[in-house]
Amino acid sequence: MPRNLFTVGYEGTNINGFIANLLTNSVDCVLDVRQLPLSRKPGFSKNELAQRLNRAKIQYVHLADLGTPKPIRQKLKSTRDYSTFFKKMDAYLAARKDAIETAYKYAMNNICCLMCFEHLAAKCHRKLIAKKIKQRNGNGLQIIHL
């Protein structure tokens, strides 16, 4: 049976709904792939999120090296050019082999979920990270966007 790797964006939800979604899908490890794990949404900044997940028996891991660098984020915000954004992020992530390997190891030992802000995986760099982890695994992972 293939192993699942989930991805989720917390845009449009609250912390209770977010955690309930993870628990419904038996997630036991969240890999936060935001470069800066801060949020204006209550419950989603690093320390509070880690505490809330810990109470739900879900491990929290922040992988800052897999987050989108500020210049790439700013360019996307000003141009809304997702094609260029994904090309730049793909090149950036290609140079982050150690961080991808770390994420891969977590995914092989846990039921993991890559987490970022953007609700739609199609508009988020986490889909690229999931793809790189899947390739590292020899394509044995099933990627599920929550």
CATH of the domain at 103: 3.40.1010
Longest dimension (CA), the chain: 43
Looking at residue 1, its pLDDT comes to: 56
Beta strands per DSSP E along 22-145: 29-32, 59-62, 112-116, 141-145
For residue range 15-71, list pLDDT tens digits in order: 999 999 999 999 999 999 999 999 999 999 999 999 999 999 999 999 999 999 999
DSSP 45: S
- Could you tell me what percent of the chain has a pLDDT over 70? 98
Which structural domain range is residue 18 located in?
3-145
Looking at residue 139, its pLDDT comes to: 64
pTM above 0.85, yes or no: yes
Q: Is 54 exposed, middle or buried (0-12, 13-18, 19+ CB in 10 A)?
A: exposed
Looking at residue 79, its pLDDT comes to: 95
Number of folded domains that form the chain: 1
Q: 60 φ, ψ to 5°?
A: -115, 130
**How many CB atoms are closer than 10 A to CB 21?**
16
